[in-house]
Amino acid sequence: MAVTNDPAAEKRRSLPVLGARALVPTRVASGPPPRSVRVSVTDRCDFACTYCRPSRNDGYADGRLMTSAWKTMFEALRRAGVRRVRLTGGEPLVHPEIVSIVAHLASLGFEDLALTTNASQLAKLARPLRDAGLHRINVSIDTLDPDRFRAVTRGGDLGAVLAGIEAASEAGFPPIKLNTVVLRGVNDEELERILLWAWERRMLPRFLEVMPIAEGAKLVADHLVTAAEMRRALAAHLTAEEAVTDPGLGPAKYVRARHDPSLRVGFITGTSDTFCETCDRLRVSSTGVLRPCLATDDGVDAGAPARAGDAAAIVEDIGRAWAMKPDGTIWKGCTEETAAGVSMRAIGG
């Protein structure tokens, strides 16, 4: 191995090494193959949100997959039975070939093709992404206050994000989901404002508990607002019905608006009430590691066969990774000790 004095390289090497090890209770995957996958097409991000990254200078991973390798990975996921794909990052829209990546995925015939973004680049990309075949968009937005937004994201421009959301709406995407991580003493007094702002635009707001994973582990003790607290704060606007999930579309539980049943709000726990038992997700890191769980670095490295164009080998690796899926009746996800050491940016949240 060559010796280098490049500080950036040292930072990249300091990131967690994702390998194939099993330190958690696992089950043999005797049921169906994974139907849903979250793909971190890049670990790069133009924001440095306080619950995700320690700083703007925390370094990036070596060995990110190039587009040709991603095409092999996507083909293998389709062969393995995956039906729903969500692109994440880092920030997926900083990937220079994100539109062609979406177009290739769309050509493979996945039932659902979605993307989660901070929307900083969405104003210029919303229409090209829609034309390329993207079905749905989720936007992460934690505050509607420009100064607070800049502080939480360490430099983000709220105006650019709002312009991106408007562009996505104009491009004809179905109701855009807005994801807000709620932090006590930071943005918790904005719940009603964000809710009504989203509903005025026929969008679907979703409020997330901060989870004890990565940098979030440092925030939970002082800043956790549970979903139950959030719902109480918004009770005047909501029906009293039980919150329910959309089958096959993630762990969020939704409640309808009191004044208009066609509007809803979602709540995502993960700290006060884990949802591991119903998790059907496989994750793929930006370097090609197949991860069966967000809360541990365990996984199977499929980067080499992806670069070699060997989709058949990746299909076998997917089976191996899925067999490592923790037993959700025992394992409690991001509340487990391993979660604090995971890099959120490397796996896409």
Q: Residues 171-227: pLDDT tens digits?
A: 999 999 999 999 999 999 999 999 999 999 999 999 999 887 777 778 888 999 999
In the prediction, which pLDDT does 57 show?
80
Give me the amino acid identity at 185: G
Instruction: Pick out the chain residues at pLDDT < 50.
Output: 1-26, 28-30
What lies within 8 Å, CB to CB, of 140 at 6+ separation is: 49, 116, 117, 118, 119, 178, 179, 180, 181
The pLDDT tens digits of the residues spanning 228-252 come to 999 999 999 999 999 999 987 888 9
Predicted TM-score (pTM) of the model is 0.87
Residues making up the chain, counted from first to last = 349
φ/ψ of 293, rounded to 5, equals -150, 140
In the prediction, which pLDDT does 341 show?
62
The pLDDT tens digits of the residues spanning 285-296 come to 999 999 988 767
Q: Is the peptide bond between 90 and the residue preceding it cis, with omega within 30 degrees of 0? A: yes
Q: Is the dihedral of CA 65, 67, 68, 73 positive or negative?
A: positive
In the prediction, which pLDDT does 61 show?
82
Q: What are the structural domains of the chain?
A: 36-341 (3.20.20.70)
Is-contact 129 99, C-beta < 8 A?
Answer: yes
Per-residue exposure over 269-295, b if at least 16 CB sit within 10 Å of its own CB, e if not: bbbebbbbeebbbbbbbbbbbbbbbbb
